[in-house]
Copies of this chain bind each other. A is one copy, B any other.
Amino acid sequence: MAKGTDDTIAVRIGKALADRIISGAIEPGARLRQDHIAEEFNTSHVPVREAFRRLEAQGLAVSEPRRGVRVAAFDLGEVKEVAEMRAALEVLALRHAAPHLTSAILDQAEEATKAGDKSRDVRSWEEANRAFHRLILTPCGMPRLIATIDDLHAASARFLFAAWRSEWEARTDQDHRAILVALRQGNTESAAATLGRHVQWIGRKPVRTASGATREAFTIVG
């Protein structure tokens, strides 16, 4: 995966900030100060502002005119919303991708599933999970649909990292396997139905807040 060294500076900054927001390195609600970021990346603030517009469009940041840009906050409602949007769109993508899925692709997807089951931290689990979904969906040949799904995956990953920052225990992903079996049998509708349920499975877990109290954290697991 090329690090895109010929990208414009604004694009590079946008990717770097997106990664920090998704990983939780920057807290929800935190201010993004253009001069500070510009200084850190050794640029002027002009490309930083362009990067902000991109983050805004992805739903990772919110901007108020003359008041600055903040990392987008999120709540259980948004977790559910993203899950349902993903369900609707990934099912659509899978229906179109199914006729173009080769057994080579399905083998790769199975590898990704195994990698997910073996992973010992959230980060690598998320990577494997994303690879699985991307592999079976990309052959739909609908670039706008894929781009929208990618943004939703970014949001999902953010929720995931927020809930399971440190302690993570991989479990074998039966849904992924059931989807692959159905696809190998040419049973697209069954695969689509399982996928739709799969991405709407919301994990919950108690988390200690800054104030010491415990609350429930929710996230899309799939």
By size class, the interface of chain A is 20 to 34
Task: Collect the chain B residues with CB atoms within 8 Å of residue A66's CB.
Answer: 8
Query: Is A53 in contact with B57, judged by CB distance below 8 angstroms?
Result: yes
Task: Collect the chain B residues with CB atoms within 8 Å of residue A58's CB.
Answer: 57
- The docked-state distance in angstroms from the alpha carbon of A50 to that of B91 is 34
Choose one: B11, B49, B89, B143; the contact of A88 (CB below 8 Å).
Answer: B89
**Chain B min CB distance to A150 (Å):** 12
Query: Is B92 in contact with A6, judged by CB distance below 8 angstroms?
Result: no
- The docked-state distance in angstroms from the alpha carbon of A191 to that of B11 is 42
A195 at the interface (CB under 8 A from B): no
**Interface flags, A40-73, vs B, CB<8A=1, else 0:** 0000001001100110011100000110000000
**Chain B min CB distance to A77 (Å):** 8
Nearest B residue to A58 via CB reads B57
Task: Collect the chain B residues with CB atoms within 8 Å of residue A8's CB.
Answer: 65-66
Nearest B residue to A59 via CB reads B144
A182 at the interface (CB under 8 A from B): no
* Contact stretch, chosen from A79-87, A130-138, A167-175: A79-87
Choose one: B50, B88, B145; the contact of A92 (CB below 8 Å).
Answer: B88
Choose one: B57, B65, B78, B81; the contact of A54 (CB below 8 Å).
Answer: B57
A187 at the interface (CB under 8 A from B): no
Query: Is A145 in contact with B81, judged by CB distance below 8 angstroms?
Result: yes
A108 at the interface (CB under 8 A from B): no
- The docked-state distance in angstroms from the alpha carbon of A78 to that of B141 is 10
Q: Top 4 nearest A-B pairs by Cβ distance?
A: A57-B57, A53-B53, A88-B88, A81-B142
A-side interface residues toward B, CB under 8 Å? 6-8, 10-11, 46, 49-50, 53-54, 57-59, 65-66, 77-78, 81-82, 84-85, 88-89, 91-92, 141-145, 148
Q: Can you report 16 A-B residue pairs in the complex whose CB atoms are below 8 A from each other? A: A7-B65, A8-B65, A10-B53, A11-B65, A46-B46, A46-B49, A57-B57, A57-B58, A81-B143, A84-B142, A85-B89, A85-B92, A85-B144, A85-B145, A85-B148, A89-B89
